[in-house]
Amino acid sequence: MIQLAGSFIESISVSTGFRFDLLAGYMPLFLKGTLYTIGISLFAIFIGLILGLLIGLGELMRNKLLSFPFKAYVAFVRGTPFFVQILIIHFGVIPVFLGKTNGVAAGIVALSLNSAAYIAEIFRAGIQSIDKGQMEAARSLGMTHTQAMKSVILPQAFKRMIPPLGNEFITLIKESSLTAIVAVPEIMYWARAFNGEYYRVWEPYLLAAVIYFILTFTLSILLSHLEKRLATDDKS
């Protein structure tokens, strides 16, 4: 069976010129790159969620002077390319704090700050979608604004935010590919290294595309399952 599979792969390689042998040599590096992609994405999602919630709540402040910095931050991040943002953070921000630049730190910080702006808008829209009567009812029961937000508004809003948050997480995984430009050894870093060593295009970039697809498709399935479970809990 193994010999048959090997013969099949060899026949495809000969007929198409696809170099499976070169790809096999780089496979451990692509697996390492996948772990880096997952790692920096998880860190960025976690930090982005916290910052996004804080920024989203800041945007909802009634005092326009206090809410302006949060709105300005969201407008700036959403209005500039992530490519530019990561270069600014890599060459300008990280050296200020670490004394020298660090690709992984720059990648996580850039992804987190970029994602936070989009997540803030998701939180803001989700909170504003809840009927104002919910807050008034909670306040009439003696809750403070913070207590009402924590116990009444946010739990309801979060269920509505799951689909857009899921889309943002998927986008973040794909955008993590840009961290290769600051030498983060993730998937695209090794795809470019493969291309630079062997001057091959199809093998590294097709494999990178397949890995990203597997990651995002798996995440979309998990999020879909979560949505259905929450919908079932609401009915029960």
Q: What is the CATH number of the domain that holds 165?
A: 1.10.3720.10
Single pTM value for the model:
0.85
pLDDT tens digits for range 183-234: 999 999 999 999 999 999 999 999 999 999 999 999 999 988 888 887 776 6
Asked if residue 219 belongs to a domain, the reply is: yes
Q: Which domain holds residue 174?
A: 34-235
Number of domains in the chain: 1
Say whether pLDDT at 5 is over 70: no
Asked if residue 28 belongs to a domain, the reply is: no
Closest CA to 234 of 163, 139, 155: 155
Asked if residue 7 belongs to a domain, the reply is: no
Asked if residue 9 belongs to a domain, the reply is: no
pLDDT tens digits for range 94-111: 999 998 999 999 999 999
Asked if residue 12 belongs to a domain, the reply is: no
Say whether pLDDT at 9 is over 60: no
Say whether pLDDT at 167 is over 70: yes
**Averaged pLDDT for residues 165-184:** 94
Asked if residue 8 belongs to a domain, the reply is: no
Cα–Cα distance for residue pair 160/227, rounded to 1 Å: 9
Asked if residue 13 belongs to a domain, the reply is: no
29 is written with which tokens?
């590096």
Give the chain's mean pLDDT: 87
pLDDT tens digits for range 133-158: 777 787 787 788 778 887 778 878 78
Asked if residue 199 belongs to a domain, the reply is: yes
Cα–Cα distance for residue pair 130/50, rounded to 1 Å: 20
Closest CA to 155 of 90, 88, 233, 213: 233
pLDDT tens digits for range 28-40: 999 999 999 999 9
